[in-house]
Amino acid sequence: FIQMYAEKIHLRGTRHGTMLVFRDVTQETEVDRLKTELVSTVSHELRTPLTSIIGFTELLRYRSLQPDRVDQYLGMIHQETLRLEDLISNLLDVQRMESGQQAYEYQPERLHDILSETIALHQGASQHHALTLECDTNLLVYGDRNRLSQLFTNLLHNAIKYSPDGGKVAVCVTHDQADTIEISVQDKGIGIPESAISKLFDKFYRVDNSASRKIGGTGLGLAICKEIAEGHGGSIHVDSSVGDGSTFTITLPKYVAEDKMSS
């Protein structure tokens, strides 16, 4: 973005002419956009769970309820509190990554273990979706276990969130290439419009449709995934079509044990 304005030139009190000034404000516009997005996302994402928590705690305090109702409302409060925790940890992660404070602790890890643990956690939380895993049990990656878990957690969370109940989510790992491993997370959910794909991994970006608005979110999950994939020397990309579902693919460098031992 270029901003243009006229500046009058005065010398010893006499007007000598007019200067046209061109300023590249691309960076500033982006910072402004991020600030606006941050304020609106945070206020919306804080307000929605807080409203539910206030509502349910009032019901619990002032009404005499059957024990199963009490359980149900406590469950809702717990869920909304987790949503708040999620928001805060996403914001902190983004801030840490931006300031370069996110330290990675790389070591050889069994990819199958990381994926099966993450899948088990999601399967436990959502019995309405069928999650499957295809991965060679001996395959190693050189990575930070916590960060990789966070990456797959975000992808699985989205696959479930943007799919109707009964949806299938398939995680497949292929390593036929000489030097890379591909991990794909495929869902049969609402899909992503072509026009959104180029902005999908930007911070705070959310697809502007009624489904995404209803579901809620911060637009930070995929930006974090991209940072983590790139932090491992890899990349992320998506294939999707509206109504058919989405496949997110992470490409990571293959781990060659001898290389690491000799270095």
Residue type at 26 in one-letter notation: T
Among positions 115, 222, 228, 236, the unique one binding ligand ADP when judged by CB under 6 A:
222
Residue type at 109 in one-letter notation: E
Among positions 118, 158, 186, 249, the unique one binding ligand ADP when judged by CB under 6 A:
158
Among positions 97, 131, 173, 200, the unique one binding ligand ADP when judged by CB under 6 A:
200
Query: According to CB under 6 A, which residues from 230 to 249 bind ligand ADP?
Result: 246
The verdict on 131 binding ligand ADP (CB under 6 A) reads no
**CA-based end-to-end distance of the chain:** 46
Minimum distance from residue 103 beta carbon to ligand ADP (Å): 23
The verdict on 126 binding ligand ADP (CB under 6 A) reads no
Phi, psi values for residue 219, rounded to 5°: 75, 20
> Is 200 in a helix, a strand, or coil?
coil
Q: By the 8 A CB rule, do 237 and 253 touch?
A: no
Nearer to ligand ADP, 97 or 140 (CB): 97
Minimum distance from residue 220 beta carbon to ligand ADP (Å): 6
The verdict on 219 binding ligand ADP (CB under 6 A) reads yes
Between CA 117 and CA 111 the distance in angstroms is: 10
DSSP states of 190-240 as a string? S---GGGGGGTTSTT----SHHHHHH---S-HHHHHHHHHHHTT-EEEEEE
Among positions 159, 171, 183, 250, the unique one binding ligand ADP when judged by CB under 6 A:
159
Phi, psi values for residue 25, rounded to 5°: -110, 20
Q: What angle do CA 195, 197, 198 make, to 5 degrees?
A: 95
Nearer to ligand ADP, 140 or 236 (CB): 236
The verdict on 143 binding ligand ADP (CB under 6 A) reads no
Q: Please report, for the chain, how many H helices and E strands are present, in that order.
A: 7, 9
Nearer to ligand ADP, 90 or 109 (CB): 90
Among positions 143, 167, 189, 234, the unique one binding ligand ADP when judged by CB under 6 A:
189
Residues lying near ligand ADP in the complex (CB under 6 A) are found at 154, 158-159, 162, 187, 189-192, 200, 205-207, 212, 217-223, 246
